[in-house]
Amino acid sequence: MATVLAGVEPQEVWKQFEQLAAIPRPSGKEAAAREHIMELAKSLGLETHVDGFGNLVVRKPAYPGRESAPVTALQGHLDMVCEKNEGTEFNFDTDGIRLLRQDGWLHADGTTLGSDNGVGVSAALAVMASKTIQHGPMEFVFTVEEETTLGGASAFKAGVLKAHYLLNLDNEEKGTLCIGCAGGLNTRARRKVAFVEAKGNAAYRVKVGGLKGGHSGVDIHLGRGNAVRILGGTLQLINEAIAVQLADLKGGSAHNAIPREASAILVTDAANEVKLKQAVAAYEADIRGDLGSFDPGVKISVEMVTRPVQVLAHDDARATVDLIASLHHGVLAMSPDVPGLVQDSTNVATVSLKDGLVEVVTSQRSAIEGSRNLAKRLVATSCRLAGFETEFAAGYPGWKPEPDSDIVRNCVKVFEKVFGKEPKIIAMHAGLETGVLGVNYPSMQMISFGPQIEFPHSPGERIEIDSVADFWKYLVAVLETL
C-alpha cells in the first residue's frame, strides 16, 4: 500500500519517520517508541542501554578502517508535543499521527506533526541502520520527557557516554548551526478562591481562539497573540460594561507553548446579552488592530451555556482577571552580543481553575542565569500584588557558545563544501538538551542542526520536505569527517 511519503527522498529517513509517527509518544509515555528502537538495534546486532529514567543509548562500531576516530553521539528526544485543533477527533495515547503532504511540506491532519524531534530521531535511526556511511564509533542517545521538563536529559548520568562530539538533531532552521541556547524555569502562581451562589439567570462562554500559538522560546519575538492575556483583557472590558460573575476559566495547554485558546464562563442576566456581545466585539476589534498581520486570525466568540450554580467570589474573580490581563508576555531584552537574538523573555502559558484553586503558569528564559532570576522576580512580584502565592520549578541551564571549538570549525568547513556557502551561526532562545547534558559532560563538544520545521508545538507544525534531503546529506558528510 502506497504511503504519503512513498518515493520521497531520502527514503532511509522517511521510512523511519513514518514508522515513528505511527507510534503514540506523548511526554512520559515513550515506552513504545523506545521498544521500537530497541527492536531495530537488536535486529542490527547493536548494544543497547536503558537507564532508570527511560533514556536509551545504542552503540554502533565504526565503519571498517575508521576505528580510531573519536566517538560521536547523535542525540534527539523521543517525545512530542500533543496539540490538536478544537473539533479534531484524536487520542494522542492511542492514535498514530495522520500525515498529509502538500506543496512541498509535510504536516498532520489537525494535530501536531511530531517532526520535533521525530525527524532528528529518524535520521539517527537511518544512520544506525546504514551499512555504507563511513563514520567512526557511534553512540545514539534517545532521551525522554524533553517537551515537558527536560527530565530525561536532567536524569542522564555522567560516565555513560564516551563520545567526544555530540550532534544534537533538534534544530529547526535550515542553513544554521546552533552553538548555544537559553536556560529557563517555570513560575507557578496559585490563589485559593471562594465560591458564592450565582445570581444571574443566564450563562455565557467567552472564548479566545484563532491564534497561531507557537514555541514560547523561538517564536516569542514574533508578536503573536497570547490567548490567556487576551482573555483577561476581554473580561476586564466586559466588567466595565455590565455586571457579570466569573464561574470558570481555562487557557493554554503547555508551559513551553504560547497559548492559542482560552475561555471563561460568565453568569449575568439574559437582558445583558447584547451589551456583552458588544463589549466582546469592541475588544476583538482592538486586539485585531494591535496584532495586525502578526496574528490576523484572532477571534473572540460568545455562546450561551448551561448556567452554573456557583461562581467565584467578587474579590477572587477580580484579582484573577487583573493578573492574567497584566502579566508581561514576550521579550524582556535583546542580546547585546548576538544581533537579533532574544536574551530574556517571559511567557504566560496556562491558567486553570480546579478544586477551588486558580493556577497561572508562566515560563522565563535567558542564557544568563542572573537575567533569568530577574525575570522570575518580576513575574512573582506581579503575582504577589494580586494575592497569589508563587513557587519556582527547578530550572535548567543554558549552553554557552564555543564558536572556536573543533566541532564548530569542522561543521562550518563541511557546510561550505556541501552547500557552497557559509552557514548561519546561531544561539537559540529555547531550552535544548545540550545545555543539560553538558553539565555532566563538560569536555564534550556539541553542536545542533536540522531541517526546516515551522510552527512547532501547534497543529500548524510542518516540515519542508526538500530540507530533509539537505539535512541528511549534510549529516552524512559531517559524520564521515569526524
Any idea what the CATH number is for the domain that residue 160 is in?
3.40.630.10
Same domain, 190 and 178: no
Same domain, 406 and 449: yes
Residue 6 domain-assigned? Answer: no
Give dist(CA 127, CA 124) in Å, integer. 5
Answer yes or no: 79 catalytic: yes
Decide: residue 234, CB within 10 A, 0-12 exposed, 13-18 middle, 19+ buried: buried
Nearest to 15 by CA among 133, 111, 130: 130
C-alpha cell at 13: 529517513
Residue 343 domain-assigned? Answer: yes
Residue 170 domain-assigned? Answer: yes
Compute φ and ψ for 161, nearest 5 degrees.
-95, 145
**CB–CB of 460/180 below 8 Å?**
no
Q: What is the DSSP string of 42-54?
A: HHTT-EEEE-TTS
Same domain, 336 and 199: yes
Q: What is the pLDDT of residue 396?
A: 84
Question: Catalytic pick from 30, 116, 139, 146?
Answer: 146
Pairing label, strands 424-428, 176-181:
parallel
Longest dimension (CA), the chain: 83
Same domain, 93 and 110: yes
Same domain, 25 and 167: yes
**CB–CB of 245/199 below 8 Å?**
yes
Same domain, 213 and 358: yes
Same domain, 167 and 247: no
Of 365, 392, 419, which closes a domain? 392
Nearby residues of 61 by Cβ (< 8 Å), 6 or more positions away: 67, 137, 138
Same domain, 200 and 344: yes
Q: Can you tell me whether residue 266 is helix, strand or coil? A: strand
Give dist(CA 121, CA 444) in Å, integer. 20
Beta bridge partners of 206: 264, 302
The parent domain of residue 366 ranges over: 185-392
Q: What is the pLDDT of residue 166?
A: 98
Q: What is the pLDDT of residue 256?
A: 85
Q: Compute CA 218 distance to the chain's CA centroid, rounded to the nearest angstrom.
A: 9
Nearby residues of 217 by Cβ (< 8 Å), 6 or more positions away: 182, 184, 256, 345, 365, 428, 429, 430, 431
This prediction's pTM? 0.72
If you count them, how many residues does the chain have? Answer: 482
Of 392, 420, 437, which closes a domain? 392
Same domain, 257 and 300: yes
Q: Using omega within 30 degrees of 0 as the cis cutoff, is the peptide bond preceding 451 cis?
A: no
Give dist(CA 344, CA 51) in Å, integer. 34
Give dist(CA 39, CA 138) in Å, integer. 18
Answer yes or no: 344 catalytic: no
Pairing label, strands 183-192, 299-305:
unpaired
How many domains in the chain? Answer: 2
Give dist(CA 448, CA 471) in Å, integer. 12
Residue 454 domain-assigned? Answer: yes
The 10 Å Cβ neighbour count of residue 447 is 23
Give dist(CA 123, CA 142) in Å, integer. 12
The 10 Å Cβ neighbour count of residue 443 is 6
Give dist(CA 17, CA 305) in Å, integer. 43
**CB–CB of 137/61 below 8 Å?**
yes
CATH at 285: 3.30.70.360
**CB–CB of 226/348 below 8 Å?**
yes
Residue 4 domain-assigned? Answer: no
Q: What is the pLDDT of residue 1?
A: 52
Give dist(CA 253, CA 109) in Å, integer. 19
Strands (E) in 236-329, as ranges, are 245-251, 262-268, 299-305, 310-312
**CB–CB of 81/456 below 8 Å?**
yes
- Could you give the residue ranges of the DSSP H alpha helices within 187-272? 227-241
Q: What is the pLDDT of residue 37?
A: 98
From first to last of its 482 residues, what are the pLDDT tens digits of the chain? Answer: 568 999 999 999 999 999 999 999 999 999 999 999 999 999 999 999 999 999 999 999 999 999 999 999 999 999 999 999 989 999 999 999 999 999 999 999 999 999 999 999 999 999 999 999 999 999 999 999 999 888 999 999 999 999 999 999 999 999 999 998 888 899 999 999 999 999 999 999 999 999 999 989 989 999 999 999 999 999 999 999 999 999 999 999 888 899 999 999 999 999 999 999 999 999 999 999 999 999 999 999 999 999 999 999 999 999 999 999 999 999 999 988 777 889 999 999 999 999 999 999 999 999 888 899 999 999 999 999 999 999 998 688 888 888 899 999 999 999 999 999 999 999 888 878 999 999 899 999 999 999 999 999 889 999 999 999 999 999 999 999 99
Same domain, 223 and 161: no
Nearest to 450 by CA among 416, 429, 421, 423: 423
Residue 411 domain-assigned? Answer: yes
Same domain, 200 and 167: no
C-alpha cell at 108: 498532520
Q: What is the pLDDT of residue 338?
A: 74
Nearby residues of 36 by Cβ (< 8 Å), 6 or more positions away: 19, 20, 23
Same domain, 120 and 38: yes
Of 337, 359, 392, which closes a domain? 392
Residue 2 domain-assigned? Answer: no
Give dist(CA 252, CA 351) in Å, integer. 7
Q: Compute CA 84 distance to the chain's CA centroid, rounded to the nearest angstrom.
A: 14
Residue 5 domain-assigned? Answer: no
The 10 Å Cβ neighbour count of residue 469 is 16
**CB–CB of 313/196 below 8 Å?**
yes
Q: Which amino acid is at 266?
A: L
